[in-house]
Each structure stands twice: as C-alpha cells, then as structure tokens.
Amino acid sequence: MLGYAFMGKAHSNAFLQVRQLAWPPPLQPRLVAIAGRNADMVARSAARYGYERSSTDWTDLVADPAIGLFDNGGPNSVHAEPTVAAARAGKHVLCEKPLGRDADESFAIWRDVDSTGVTHLCGFNYRFVPALRLARDLIRDGELGEIRHFRARYLQDWGADPALDTWRFHASDAGSGALGDLASHAVDLGRFLVGEIASVSALVKTFVSGRDVDDAVEAVVEFERGAVGTIEATRLALGRRNALQVEVNGSEGSFWFDLERLNELQLFREDGDRVRGARNVLVTEPEHPFINYWWPPGSIIGWGDTFVHEIVHLLGAIAGDHTVGPDAATFEDGYRAAEVCDAMLRSSRSRRVEEVVYRRLP
Amino acid sequence: MLGYAFMGKAHSNAFLQVRQLAWPPPLQPRLVAIAGRNADMVARSAARYGYERSSTDWTDLVADPAIGLFDNGGPNSVHAEPTVAAARAGKHVLCEKPLGRDADESFAIWRDVDSTGVTHLCGFNYRFVPALRLARDLIRDGELGEIRHFRARYLQDWGADPALDTWRFHASDAGSGALGDLASHAVDLGRFLVGEIASVSALVKTFVSGRDVDDAVEAVVEFERGAVGTIEATRLALGRRNALQVEVNGSEGSFWFDLERLNELQLFREDGDRVRGARNVLVTEPEHPFINYWWPPGSIIGWGDTFVHEIVHLLGAIAGDHTVGPDAATFEDGYRAAEVCDAMLRSSRSRRVEEVVYRRLP
Amino acid sequence: MLGYAFMGKAHSNAFLQVRQLAWPPPLQPRLVAIAGRNADMVARSAARYGYERSSTDWTDLVADPAIGLFDNGGPNSVHAEPTVAAARAGKHVLCEKPLGRDADESFAIWRDVDSTGVTHLCGFNYRFVPALRLARDLIRDGELGEIRHFRARYLQDWGADPALDTWRFHASDAGSGALGDLASHAVDLGRFLVGEIASVSALVKTFVSGRDVDDAVEAVVEFERGAVGTIEATRLALGRRNALQVEVNGSEGSFWFDLERLNELQLFREDGDRVRGARNVLVTEPEHPFINYWWPPGSIIGWGDTFVHEIVHLLGAIAGDHTVGPDAATFEDGYRAAEVCDAMLRSSRSRRVEEVVYRRLP
Amino acid sequence: MLGYAFMGKAHSNAFLQVRQLAWPPPLQPRLVAIAGRNADMVARSAARYGYERSSTDWTDLVADPAIGLFDNGGPNSVHAEPTVAAARAGKHVLCEKPLGRDADESFAIWRDVDSTGVTHLCGFNYRFVPALRLARDLIRDGELGEIRHFRARYLQDWGADPALDTWRFHASDAGSGALGDLASHAVDLGRFLVGEIASVSALVKTFVSGRDVDDAVEAVVEFERGAVGTIEATRLALGRRNALQVEVNGSEGSFWFDLERLNELQLFREDGDRVRGARNVLVTEPEHPFINYWWPPGSIIGWGDTFVHEIVHLLGAIAGDHTVGPDAATFEDGYRAAEVCDAMLRSSRSRRVEEVVYRRLP
C-alpha cells in the first residue's frame, strides 16, 4: 500500500474485510507493507492496519518480492512513477483515480503498465455501488430502452472554505481540481452506464482566490450512441457533502440516484399501470449486486464498503476468475476518463465543442 | 381571454378566484368575452367560466371597448398579432410564455406593445410559486451570499409517445420545442434569481422522428455576475411529469426546489451548528409570499394557484399599486428569455459558446 | 353558509370553483346568504365570496325558501341546532366535522336530520384527497390483499404555544381537543379504508395548562375484520404543521401517505420483481380520482381543492346522480366517528379496552 | 463467539474492524474460538472470520482460560445458560437482545451475571447509530425541551411469507415474535431517549397460522416523566424491510428518524426563523458521534458498522475507560426492556393498562 491517509485507510479496511465477507475469497490478501512520507505516521498506520512493515520509500515495496499487488492510494502526483515501477517489477497494480494528472500522463501509465502484462484496476469505486451496478445491469438488459439522457452532478462543499489548503488545490500535485477529483467519477459512470463520450462543451472555473486548479466544471456531453446530457462537479455547493447525483432516461424507463443515499435507486419503467411512479428500490436484497456479502434486507451498507467489492473483484481478476473490465475500470478506462476531462479543459479555453479523441495502444 | 384550452382554463379559474382570495382585490375582474377557433367549444367555455359572450374571432375582443385587459393564452403562433393589436387598442395585455416564437418576434411584440404605454405581463408564472419567491427574497437579502451556481432542469415525459401529435411539435406553430416551452421557464428563473445570462453553450436535439422542433436541450450558462451552471429541458424524461428542479449555491448557502413538490424549499445556510443540514421549509406560513391568501400552515396550495398570484399582481399593476417587474416578467423579460433561447439554438449549430446580446428599445 | 372564518372561506371558494372545474356541474350553486356573529365581518365576507346577502342570525337562513342547501362551517357548538333546524326546514345539509361535540350529540343530529329525508354530508374532506381515494379503490379492488394494519397519525404543532387561546381549547365549544379535531379524521379514514372499528385502547392527555380539552390522544385500535393498528393525534408535534400520515399494510401490498405531500401515494405491491420497492405515485394523472377536473399530469393540486371535490359530490347526490356514501361521509359516518372518539375517552378513564357500540336508528 | 449465523457474522466482522477504526483500540481483540451446533459450518466460520479454533460445544469456550470475553449471538433459547456460565467462569459477556425469552429469564440472567462482577452489555446496537446517539445528546442537552411524545415503529415484512419457518416463529426458542425481536429495540430506544416507561396498553396478534409467537404488537405507552406515545412492531408490513422509525416531540423541538436511512436525522427546533423547517442532518461530520472512526463528511456508514461502535465501547468498558451504561445497554437494561415487553403481553391478555414494575437486585 502506498499512502496512509484517506484512501490508504479505506483500502486497508477493505483488504481486511475481504475474508470476512467473501468466503472463500478469490485470494487471501496478506498485508506486507505500507509506504508513506512521514515515518511516524506510516509506522502507526502499519500497526493499525496490520501491515507487516512500513517504509518511507515506495521503492522498497517495488523491490520486495513478497509483494504481489501494489495499491497506490497516494496523491495524484505520485501515481505515475510508483505504479509503473511496480508493474515493471511484475506486481499487479491498483491505482486510485484519476489515473494521472492529465490525459498524457494517464495514457503513459496505461501504456507502460499494460505492456508488462500485469492486472490493473483504476479506483473508480462507484462502479461497485450496488444501486449503480443494478442500474447498469438494467440498462444492459434493455429494461430502460434506448438511452437518451445522462445527467450527473458531483456536488461537494468543503472547497468553500477560503482558508483551507491541501495538495488538491495545487496543479502540480493534483493536475486539476473538481474536474479530476469529482467530474472524473461522473465521466466514468457515463461511460460505464451509457457508453463512450463523443464530445463535450465545458466551462471550468476557479472562484476562490489562491488556487491554481478549478473549483467547478459545467459541461454538456454527447455520447457516441446519441444520448445527450450534462456533467457537473463543484466543491462549492454548500449543503451538499458528497452528492453524486445521476439520472438516466431511456425510451422505456429512467433511474435516478444520489450517493448520499447510496443504497437507494429510484427506478421508473413505463408499464401502463394506473399507479405510475418511480420505485424506491432499497438495494439490499440478496439477489442484488454484492449484497450476498452483507446483511439481511433493509440493512444498508456504507460508502467504505464499495472498496471491499472493488478489491474482491480485483482479487478475482488476479486469480483468473474474470477480467477486470467491464465491471471495473481498467487503466484504459482511467485513461479514457482523463481524455474526456482534458477535452473539457480544452473546451473551456477554446469556448467550443471539443471532440474526444481516444488514443489506442500501439 | 384568447384560448380556452389548457391556459384558457388556468387563467379563467384564476380570474374567478381573485376576489375569493384577495379582498378587496386591486380591481375586480369582469369576464367580458372569450375567443377561440371552435364555435361550440368556445361557447361552452364561455358558459363554464362565466364569460358574458364568446367569439371565434379575436378581433371582436380587440374592438370591444368594454374590455380593458386582453389575456392571450393561445398557441405561440397567435401571440404576436392579437397581443399587439389589443395593446394598440389601448388594452392592457397578459401574454403566455414564450412571448414570441423566437427573439425577433418577441422583440417586436415587446417594442410594439411598450410603445402604446399599456401594462404588459409575460406569463412566467413560476415567479409566483411561493417557494421560489421566498428563495428570490433570500438571495436578494444576501442570505446565500455571492451566487456561484445556478442549475435548472425542466423534465417532462409526455413527448416520449411517438404517436402523439400537437401544435407543440410544429415549428410554425410553436417556434421551438422543449426549448421555448420548458427551457424558457428555467431561463426566466435564472434571470429572476441570479441575474442576466451572459453566454450559453448548448446542444439542442430531436429524438423522435416526425417532429421539426427539439425534444431536448442541454446547456452550460454563464451569468454576468460570474455564476455558472446548467439549464436543461426535455420532454423525454420518463417518470418525470412536471419536474422543474432548481438549485442555487452561494458563498453562504444554497437552496433546491422541485415543482412536483412546489410547496417545499430545501434551504441550507452555513451557520456552524453541529446539526448541519438543509431545512425542508414547507412554504405555507402566513409570513411567506402569497400565503396570506390561502389556508392554515401545512395546507399546501396547487399548481393552478400560481396563476391567481400572477393575476392579482397584474391587477395591482394596472391599478397603479406597483410596477409589473421585477416581481413579474414584463414583455422585456419575455423578449430577453427568447434571446437566451435563440443563443442556445445558435450555439447548437455553431458548436461554440454564444454571447447573449440583448437589444434595447430605441 | 354558516361561518365565515377558516371553513367558511374554504367552502365558499369551493362553491365558486364548482362550475370552473366540473362542467356541466350536477347543480349550479347560487350563493344566497352567509351568516355569522359579527355584522361587519359577515357583510365583508358576503361581498368577498359573492353571497347575495349576509345575516347575523342563522335562523334567517333557515327561514329563507330560496336556500336549498345549508352549509354549516361554524364552531362545533353550533353544529347541532342550526343543522337540524335547516333539515327540518327541508334544506339539504353539509356539516363540518366533528358532527357533534360527542357521540350523543352526533347521534341526535344524525337521527333528527335523517328523519327529515334531506341529503346530508359530514365534512370529512380527506375522503376527497385523490391519493387517498385511489388507495381506497386499490384496497376495494383487492390489490393489497387482506388488510392487517392501519396506522394513522395526525400531527400538528400550533397548540404548543401556551399563550394561544381559541374556542378549540374549550370543551363547551369544541367538545374535545385533538381528539375531535384531528383524531376524528384518522378514525374516519380508518373506517373508509379498512372498515368498522371494533375496539380501542386509548390515552388522552392535556399538557398545556389552562385547557379543558386534550392536546393529544394515543390509541390502539382493532377493526371488526381483524386488522390492528394505532391512531394518534396531537397539536404538540413541533415541526409537523398538518401531517396526517396514514399507512396500511395488507397481505399483498401496502401504501403510505402524508397530507403535507397530498398529491403523493407511496404504493408497494409484492410482485416478485428484482426491483422491489414502493412506487412514489404522483396522483395527478387523468385517470386518477378527481384529476380530470384539474391540470396536466405533474401539476399538483392544493389542500383547498379537496372541498371542491366534496361539494361537487354533494351536488351530485342532491341531483340524484348517486348517494352520499360510501364515497363521502354521511351523518351516520359522522356519528360513528364520534362513537369511536367517545370510546377513546372512556378507555382513557377506565384504563382498559373499550368496545365500540354503534347505535342504530329506530 | 457463540453463533455463526446472522449475529455471529455481524459481531465477528466488528471485532475485526476494531483496530482498523479505533487506534489504538482500548483492547485489541484476539479471536480465540467460535462455537456452534454444526461442526462443518462452525469450522468454516472459524476459518472465515479468523478464529483460532471452533467447537460444537459452548462449554469448551467457557472452560478456556484464554477467553476473556464471551459473545453470545445464538438464538434466544441459548442466551441464559451459556452467558451465565461464562460470567461465572470470570469472562466478560456480551449477549444479543432480547436478553432472555421473558422478563423472568432476563432478570435471572442479569442477577446471576451481575453477581459475578464481570462487565456485561446487552446488544441493543441501535444506541450506537450515530443519528440516534446525536438525538440522545440533543435531548440530554435540553435542545428539544420537555419531551411530550415518543413514537416508534419497527416495521419488517419477511414474516408475510406463510411458507417460511425459523426458530424465530417458535415460542420455546424465541420467547415471543415481533415483540422480543423488534418491539424490544423500540422499548430500549424509548428508555434511552426519553426515560423509564411507566405503563403500557397493548395488543399482540398472530396473523399467519402455524406460529406460536406474535406477528405484530401495537401499544400505547406512558413514560414516568409524562411523555406519551406508541410502540409498534410487525413482521407483516409489506414494503418495509427494516424500518425502525422513531419520532420524539418536545416543547422546543422534535426529531424523526428511519433506520432504512440510518445516516440521517430530521431535526426541528423552534427558532422563530421565517424559514421554518426540519433540517435533514446527514450525521457524517467529524464532530458527530462515532464518525471520527470513519470517512469524510457525506460518506455514509452501514448498518453493520453499529456493531463496531458497540464493541469498541465494550472494550473500553472492560479496559476501565468508562462504564457500559448509560451509553450502552447493560443487562439491567436488557431485563428492563423485557419487563416492558412482558407488560405488553399481559395487557393484551387483560385488555387493560398494565403498570411496568421493575424488579431490583437484592
């Protein structure tokens, strides 16, 4: 594990729960080592999460033959080098989103890692929210018909504090602001649920002085298969803490969703019944995605539990049970999301629609 | 009254309720005449709504000296000529939205009517929803701080039926589709709540074959004072019947609203309390806008009641108690909304950001 | 009309809207006279609502041969005498709920009025909420199976102000407090939706000093057909303005409802679908009860509009189109609700289950 | 650990997460042994959850000096003997609710365990829901004023399947049905939030044939300090999966809560603001109870996480950091809840109000 803060904690907790909830797990993780910059903090984290050792130098982990999976939960600026190095050392890799700080860096990570043949997963964990997986399944099964609209907003408000500073406000560390941090999730869900994004028209804006990354992005998107909609992200929506709101309308039905109520899916299907209305589906039934891991119906799961689903899936892929995609995001998906985000930045500068051109591996 | 269908019914009912709910009313309406194309239908409507007579020729109404207010609730294609003629005959005018079928026609209506000196009001009735009026008051009083985001979606689904035909699907009658019908409301609310719109980037699309107007519009908008956001409208959002959803985020607070729950305002203000959260304000208190007309607290009002508020306001303006704007939309506001909608159409064709340039009267 | 305050206003508005919304109406009301105690106020009300004359003496109305329907919207203490006198004078009668101040008075009103042969309706207007009428229809059609539970709470909070005084706090005027005012609605809906109530066990309590009526009632109820549940009413539920919340569970499905969102019905039916969940039915479709009177789908109606439905129904009954019951409450229903409320009072004193014994007319 | 099914899984997962989330934990659990009836199943559970060994005989665990805490998650009929035996062997004990199958058995467990001096906790885990803990704190701090009403319903629907059989439907195994399983949670929350229950009037009923325990209970309750309200529980509320709904009204404010949205608290306080309304508090802020363990604001936790809170609290009590009560339920609280449930049964038979008489230890 690289990183002991927010994502380090979430991933470590997930590794520990794997065997609790999926039995037998595809592979049983052994927590070999955790790396981070501050020696005291990383040692404390190692003790807490049960890693056998800690290090202030990620190259130690890359060099360690006992390590088979390298999980990169560090800041965006330390995604590329350690992840590629780990893959070159033959380790499977999980890298948090956004894959790189821009499309070029993301492409290079994908290219370099893919060439090594290891298994790679990019941490778009909302593909592992049961309600969104169920929505994907319903769309895939044609229950919503031809998709016409995709709308996603990722609204947070912690950026409204002008006194706050973090690596997330600095371009050299983060690449971009709400764009790479939040809008990238919406982009990935658009691709996951509806298909490839063909073009974007966007406006990216910084409101709070002293930041060299964006606070907010507003975009119109068009999908290759014809659906149109919007993607928005902001860190300035006071009263919205973690509101990733998604709505999809098709010719036969619709769904809408809010991450602040992540166990619920509002689903409408045109069925001619006199009692017309969207169902509030509490996605906690045994037949719902991932729920066989958890509790009886009606007992909700938490945000952190999506990482357990993601990691079990990754372990299954490493074990050869299935591929990483399309259920999870590969590094190619990580790159493609970055390409859409870059097109949004270009569009904001050019003030025109920008086509999204996806590069392919040689 | 011109028109006896949807808007004819809504306005007629409102005229009748004026004296019930505002007493003494600024002026007591007398329902002199109603005009429409079908003689039987219009006669029946006259009997039903209590008009003294009916006519199949709107010029009869324009010529009638007993008529002081001409209310145009007909299809968009009969907005311009009768409204201008009535004004030239010295009658005050109420015209349903959109004012004209495009910005040019709207400008001409405004110019020609304004030059007569009569009182004019454009029927953007959602300015008269108590929750939205309260939101406007809160913004005006600075309770949300500097406004950063405006998001509005007007989602309906009746257009999903490919077998349906109506004047609303024909450009010659309607001008545009979801754009003029639905997005124009969102545009007007943006102007009402946040201020003038400076530029737009939009995508306008028709999904259902056989229609020469749009089914949906997706737009990024930028306001003159710096706020950014999106405006969307569609007739294809299955499960959404009349969902005009508005959210505004400022530096001190936010609100969100859905017309399907028109008596509720979700209001968040940053106040440092450990119980942080948006209040669900049921806008039915005596001190809330318009509620002194109605029932005890907790007793909700209906969609049709917004027209009562609008008409009482218009009567007050005619009586000289106050001006039409800024609480209601004047014909200038009707024209300005059309200018924004036209910019959206231009942007969809040019595939670039379009500035909105507002013409002024000579 | 007797009474010009809260109910006088609501009923008068409804009489006026009858012809607007139901055309042709079963009978076209003519607003002959309104009576009330204060000469100035009642004269003003007459002018406002369009009554031909006003009076401070209700016997004037009873004596007036031009009056065919006597509508009693006065305080509970003036329900009995005027209503019976009007019926004896051959007038049809509408009396607000509760019918009398207790079961004895209510029985006498029913008995005396019924013997005259006039049409009588007791103003339990929530039978005319479209969502609750739809729920009744679904139950009647067996879509929820055998009913097992009925839960109703009527929560208001205006009684929390200890400085407030009104006739509603005095037993001689009101009979009881939250019991007759609020719980009676819940009792009537229980009878309307599920059937006759067989027994009750209740606790009636006054919290605020200086009142000789109850602030709150809590009751367990058992229905003749076996369903069990609770009925609660209070004027002290801070934050609840007009929250009549009803839930019914059957062997095949359930619904729940809140009067503060009176256009919505949450409906669950066991159908084996993987997307299990209650539908949020926006009861504004043309095929829903009463909605053909109103606006396009998604355009909600208001609390006051339930009175229009009620009065159109009464006019239809007077015209001979149908009977008052079971869709509306007759005076027998008014009496029966009072008998249940009296049993709750008895139970609170005896501290035991009380059977409800319904008297019949000789 | 005794039991490997539902509660065995939930508790085992919680033991594992202790060190992840509270660091340093008050004590670091070591998972020594798990016992259950089926040798294969219990061995598999031991492997899965990381216990060092498994046994089909709980006396093995009681005899094992390596075990310091005995966690009883078995069926109600195996609560008494193993729990008391473990305590007599000097082990601290956690016993799932209901403590015993009735008040007598519960009292005996409490008495016998308490006399040994070990630490004891009864698994009313909803005291560890952050939103309910916050509500308790607000009440304790006087922010809701004098409490007047407590309403709680625990609604589930899995009992509607007549073909289902489980130990929970048999009196010898379970003691009672919805009463001990579900209503006991509501009783405990009433005591936790509002204070001691003085009397009850209840109706207990079995709808589905072949069960010798109740399907549903309906009760009126009165608290020693004067609040009145209702407690309901049923396994037959179709569409309600795990809906523990609680509402408390005080003289200064109210809250309401639903376990199906366990991260949210609806909080109303009378503050004279023109924007009157209950706040929807997403209880995921760092300053909210237990949240420092978890994720950033807006990232919800799950139902299973309440057990982590409970077990960390128990470990702290064993470590001497604090007492078990009043934040958690002791065995005395387990007994007292049983005494209230027994009074409900007595009331249902006697058809009268039953006082709750709490026994004390000699």
Give the nearest partner residue to D351 out of C230, C277, C353, using CB atoms.
C353
Q: How far is CA D181 from CA A115, A130, D155, D174, D309, in A?
A: 57, 28, 11, 8, 21
Q: What is the ipTM of this complex?
A: 0.96
Among A260, A264, A292, A307, most D C-beta atoms within 10 A, so best to mutate, is: A260
List Cα–Cα distances, D347 to A334, B261, D197, D204, D337, in angstroms.
64, 43, 14, 9, 15
Size of interface A-D (CB pairs under 8 A): 113
Q: In this structure, what is the dihedral angle of CA atoms B191, B193, B198, B199, given to the nearest 10 degrees?
A: -90
Is C218 within 8 Å of chain D by CB? yes
Query: Which segments of C224-265 does DSSP mark as H helices, in order?
Result: none
Answer yes or no: is pLDDT of D362 > 90. no
- State the smallest CA–CA distance between residue C225 and chain B in angstroms: 33
Q: How far is D283 from chain B (nearest CA, A)?
A: 8
pLDDT above 90 (res D208): yes
Question: Chain C partners of A278 at a C-beta cutoff of 8 Å?
Answer: 279-280
Query: CB distance B282–C294 less than 8 Å?
Result: no
The CA distance from D264 to the nearest CA of chain B, in Å, is 10
| Residue D232 touches partner C, C-beta closer than 8 Å | yes
Residue C21 has pLDDT above 80, yes or no: no
pLDDT digits over A78-95, tens only?
Answer: 999 999 999 999 999 999
Write the residue in A241, A297, A302 that is nearest to D241 by C-beta.
A297
Residues of D in contact with B266 (CB under 8 A): 280
Task: Report the pLDDT value the prediction gives residue D274, as an integer from 0 to 100.
Answer: 85
> Chain D partners of C149 at a C-beta cutoff of 8 Å?
216, 234, 236-237
Spell out which residues of chain C touch residue B243, defining contact as CB-CB under 8 Å.
Answer: 298
Is there a contact between B23 and C48 if contact means CB atoms under 8 Å apart? yes
Q: What is the pLDDT of residues D77-97, one digit of tens each?
A: 999 999 999 999 999 999 999
State the DSSP H helix or E strand holding residue A249, giving kind and residue range, or none if neither. strand A243-250
Alpha-carbon span A27 to A14, nearest angstrom: 14
Give the per-residue pLDDT at D353: 98
Q: Which of the residue ranges A103-107, B332-336, D10-14, D316-320 would you say has the lowest mean pLDDT?
A: D10-14
Q: Is the pLDDT of residue C233 over 90?
A: yes
Tokens read off for C349: 């004193």
Residue of C134, C277, C280 lying closest to A282 (CB–CB): C277
Residue A3, pLDDT score: 93
Distance CA A82, CA A100 (A): 12
* Residue recorded with tokens 């704007």: B325
Asked whether the beta carbons of D42 and D4 are under 8 A apart, the reply is yes
Question: Rounded distance, CA A168 to CA A54, Å?
Answer: 25
- pLDDT value, residue A289: 97
Rounded to a whole number of angstroms, the distance between the first and last alpha carbons of chain A is 30
A161 in contact with D, Cβ within 8 Å:
no
Report the gap between the CA of B164 and the closest CA in chain A (Å).
15
The rounded distance, in Å, linking the Cα atoms of A234 and A247 is 17
End-to-end CA distance of chain D: 31
Q: Quick check: B280 and D275 CB within 8 A?
A: no
Of C242, C282, C299, the CB nearest to B298: C242
Q: How high is the pLDDT of residue C254?
A: 98
Q: Encoding tokens for residue A250?
A: 């098709």
On whether any CB of chain D is under 8 Å from the CB of B292, the answer is no
Q: To the nearest whole angstrom, how far is the Cα of B272 from the nearest Cα of chain C?
A: 21
D210: left (phi over 0), alpha (psi -120 to 50) or beta: left
Determine contact: B278 vs chain D, CB below 8 A: yes
Chain A residues inside the 8 Å CB shell of D295: 6, 10, 302-304
User: DSSP state, C183?
Assistant: I
Q: What is the mean pLDDT of residues D264-281?
A: 95
Tell me if D220 and C219 make a contact (CB, 8 A cut-off): yes
CB burial class (10 A; 0-12, 13-18, 19+) of residue A173? middle
Neighbours of chain A (3+ CB pairs under 8 A): B, C, D
CA angle B274–B279–B283, rounded 5-degree value = 155
Q: In this structure, are residues B200 and B353 in contact, taking their beta carbons and an 8 Å threshold?
A: yes
Length of chain A as a residue count: 362
Is the CB of residue D260 less than 8 Å away from at least one CB of chain C?
Answer: no
For residue D23, the model assigns a pLDDT of 85
Mark yes or no for CB contact B282/D285 under 8 Å: no
Q: Quick one: which H or E segment has residue C254?
A: strand C253-258
DSSP result, B105-172: HHHHHHHHHHTTT--EEE--GGGG-HHHHHHHHHHHTTTT-SEEEEEEEEE--GGG-TT---GGG-HH
Tell me how close the Cα of B267 comes to any Cα of chain D, in angstroms.
Answer: 8
Helices and strands per DSSP (H, E), number in chain A: 11, 14
- Please determine, for residue C23, whether its predicted confidence score (pLDDT) is greater than 90: no
pLDDT for residue D20 is more than 90: no
Going by C-beta distance under 8 Å and a sequence separation of 6 or more, which residues neighbour residue C34? C1, C2, C4, C8, C12, C42, C45, C46, C49, C51, C53, C54, C55
CB pairs < 8 Å spanning C and D:
128
Nearest CA in chain B to D288: B274
User: In C22-129, where does DSSP find H-type helix?
Assistant: 39-49, 58-63, 80-88, 103-114
**Which value, to the nearest 10 degrees, does the dihedral of the CA atoms of residues B251, B253, B256, B262 take?**
-130
Joined together, the tokens standing for residue A191 give 């691709």
**326-345 in chain C: CB under 8 A from chain D:** none
- For the segment C38-49, the average pLDDT, to the nearest whole number, is 94
Q: If you search the block for the tokens 């917004």, which residue do you land on?
A: B306
Neighbours of chain C (3+ CB pairs under 8 A): A, B, D
Cβ-defined contact of D10 to A295 (cutoff 8 Å)? yes
- Say if residue A272's pLDDT is above 90: no
Q: Mean pLDDT across the stretch D10-24?
A: 88
d(CA D3, CA D33): 11
Residues of chain B neighbouring C17 (CB-CB closer than 8 A): 13, 16-17
How high does pLDDT run on average in chain C? 96
Q: Write out chain B's pLDDT in tens, 362 residues.
A: 999 888 888 999 999 899 877 888 899 999 999 999 999 999 999 999 999 999 999 999 999 999 999 999 999 999 999 999 999 999 999 999 999 999 999 999 999 999 999 999 999 999 999 999 999 999 999 999 999 999 999 999 999 999 999 999 999 999 999 999 999 999 999 999 999 999 999 999 999 999 999 999 999 999 999 999 999 999 999 999 999 999 999 999 999 999 999 999 999 999 988 899 999 999 999 999 999 889 999 999 999 999 999 999 999 999 999 999 999 999 999 999 999 999 999 999 999 999 999 999 98
CB-closest option in A160, A228, A239 to B251: A160
- Residue with tokens 């009083």, as numbered in its chain: B141
Q: Where residue C22 falls among pLDDT bands split at 50, 70, 90?
A: confident
Mutate which of B143, B144, B147, B149 to test chain A, going by most A C-beta atoms within 10 A? B149
Nearest C-alpha in A relative to B152: A230
Query: Closest to A238 (Cβ–Cβ): which among B207, B216, B253?
Result: B253
How many Å lie between the alpha carbon of B210 and the closest alpha carbon of chain A?
16
To the nearest whole angstrom, how far is the Cα of D293 from the nearest Cα of chain A?
A: 10
Q: Does B19 touch chain C (CB under 8 A)?
A: yes
To the nearest whole Å, the CA of A285 is away from the closest chain B CA by 24
Report pLDDT for A19. 84
List chain C residues with CB under 8 Å of B259: 298
Chain B hits for C240, CB-CB cut-off 8 Å, are: 298
Whether residue D278 lies within 8 A of chain B, CB to CB, comes out as yes
A123-176 pLDDT, tens digit each: 999 999 999 999 999 999 999 999 999 999 999 999 999 999 999 999 999 999
**CB spacing of D280 vs B281 below 8 angstroms:** no
pLDDT in tens, C250-309: 999 999 999 999 999 999 999 988 899 999 999 999 999 999 889 999 999 999 999 999
Using CB atoms, pick whichever of C151, C239, C254 lies closest to residue D238. C254
Cα gap D218→C222, rounded to integer Å: 10
Say yes or no to pLDDT of C39 above 80. Answer: yes
Question: Which of D300, D305, D308 to probe the A interface (max A CBs under 10 A)?
Answer: D300
Which 3 state secondary structure label does DSSP give C252?
A: coil
Mean pLDDT of C54-64: 97
Asked if C138 lies within 8 A of A275 by C-beta distance, the reply is yes
> Whole-prediction pTM value?
0.97
